[in-house]
A and B are shown apart, each in its own frame.
Chain A
Amino acid sequence: MIDGLVQLFIWQGLGELVSKFLLPNIPGPVLGLLFLLAYLIIKDEVSPSLGLVADSFRQHLGLLFVPASVGVILFLPDLKTHALAVTVALVSSVVLTIAATALVLKLFAKEARDE
């Protein structure tokens, strides 16, 4: 498990460096993700240790954004004033996004079948 974690930190570090000096528009961790992906595709396997760490991160991804979300306490007055706008925007946006994505794929799948 430790060597999976070390691998992730190294790719992240590399991503941060490239982001800092070469591609400031893209966040370091995203570059780290792309580097690791390229490495996995070349190597064509995921080591069990890396798989284990990645799966634990995926399972408890939510824990990691608790600290930032608690900051909502600073925005409570602002959110209270605009509660309706926020609710309507979030609910309709999530419904439209899921529906649009699914419909686009359905359309493609249908075309593929018709050909």
Chain B
Amino acid sequence: MNERLPIAEVWVYLSGSPLFALILTLATYQLGYTLYVRANRNPVVNPVAISVLLATFCIYAIDMPYDKYFEGAQFVHFLLGTATVALAVPIYRGCRSLRTKLVPMTFALLIGSAVSIGSAVGIASMLGAGENIVGSMYAKSVTAPIAMGIAERIQVSPTLTAVFTVITGMLGAILAPFIMNFLRIGPWWIRGTAIGVGAHGLGTTRAFSVNEEAGTYASMAMGLNGVMSAVLLPMVVNYLRT
């Protein structure tokens, strides 16, 4: 009996420190990422989805409250803002080619994000999803770090927004090639832009793995869409609510 005691103590100590949540977050992501690379970067094997599922299952199994988990995981969460600032780099890299395509890109971004918001919010509310869920549909096509900032400003759940964003990214990365082929879209810059608007970060990763030009356009479209939505979405939502 005495032998088990130290282990229990170690456990109590560890689960009380922020280190446990941090390890859980990073290790599950690492596992997910390894599987993703092994699967030839197939978008179905998404590292974020794997990490979220495993981490959620673990804290559920050991009965750890979410607040407690977040105390440790917040160190990772904090870097979201920094990652957002870093998006300036891909936008800058794409800037040169943007000069000649400014008008089409502006239209595509505006129409793309209007369709994204209109269809998601419209369908979800038509099918009777609750207010929480419908509200969290607004920012779901925007890259997650910006989406969560927007969610806070329009007073909807950043968590649900993040979850919908991840699912959208996965779906987009999986479905985009079929949609493009069906519509007979050839040029890489168009394919890249469309996937960047519709499926943000995960779509961009996919685009980079297929074609460099598509990837550059995808990350630029993702960044511009994020900036535009951050400025316009709160105004649109406030207008709709009054």
Task: Point out residues on A near B: beta carbons under 8 Å.
Answer: 5, 8-9, 11-12, 15-16, 25-30, 32-34, 36-37, 40-41, 46, 50-51, 53-55, 57-75, 78-79, 81-82, 84-86, 88-106, 108-109
Contact = CB atoms under 8 A, between A and B. Distances in A.
Contact of B92 (A37, A84, A99): A37
B171 A102 contact: no
Contacts of A26: 230-231
Interface of B: 21, 25-26, 28-29, 33, 46-48, 51-52, 55-56, 59-60, 66, 69-70, 73-74, 76-77, 79-93, 95, 103-105, 107-109, 111-113, 115-116, 119-121, 123-124, 127-130, 132-133, 137, 140-141, 143-146, 148-150, 152-153, 157-160, 162-168, 171-172, 175-176, 179-180, 183, 185, 187, 189-191, 193-195, 197-199, 201-202, 204-205, 219, 221, 223, 226-227, 230-231, 234-235
Query: Chain A at the B interface: mostly helix, strand, loop or mixed?
Result: helix
A20 B111 CA distance: 30
A62 B47 contact: yes
Contacts of A27: 84, 146, 149-150, 152-153, 230
B166 A93 contact: no
A5 B25 CA distance: 22
A46 B29 contact: no
Contacts of A82: 124, 127-130, 133
- A62, A63, A71 interface centre (most CB from chain B within 10 Å): A62
B52 A94 contact: no
21 contacts: A9-B82, A26-B230, A27-B146, A29-B82, A30-B227, A33-B227, A36-B88, A57-B82, A57-B83, A62-B29, A65-B166, A72-B56, A75-B132, A78-B132, A82-B133, A89-B123, A93-B141, A96-B115, A101-B194, A103-B183, A109-B104
A90 B135 CA distance: 13
- B112, B153, B179 interface centre (most CB from chain A within 10 Å): B112
Contacts of A34: 88, 227
A69 B162 contact: yes
A73 B157 CA distance: 13
A32 B194 CA distance: 25
B234 A25 contact: yes
Nearest to A12: B85
Contacts of A85: 123-124, 127-129, 133
Contacts of B55: 66, 70
Given A65-B145, A70-B56, A102-B183, A91 B171 contact: yes
Contacts of B219: 58
A68 B107 contact: no
Given A29-B146, A74-B159, A96-B119, A8 B85 contact: yes
B143 A61 contact: yes
A58 B82 CA distance: 11
B242 to A, nearest CB: 15
Contact of A61 (B83, B88, B149): B83
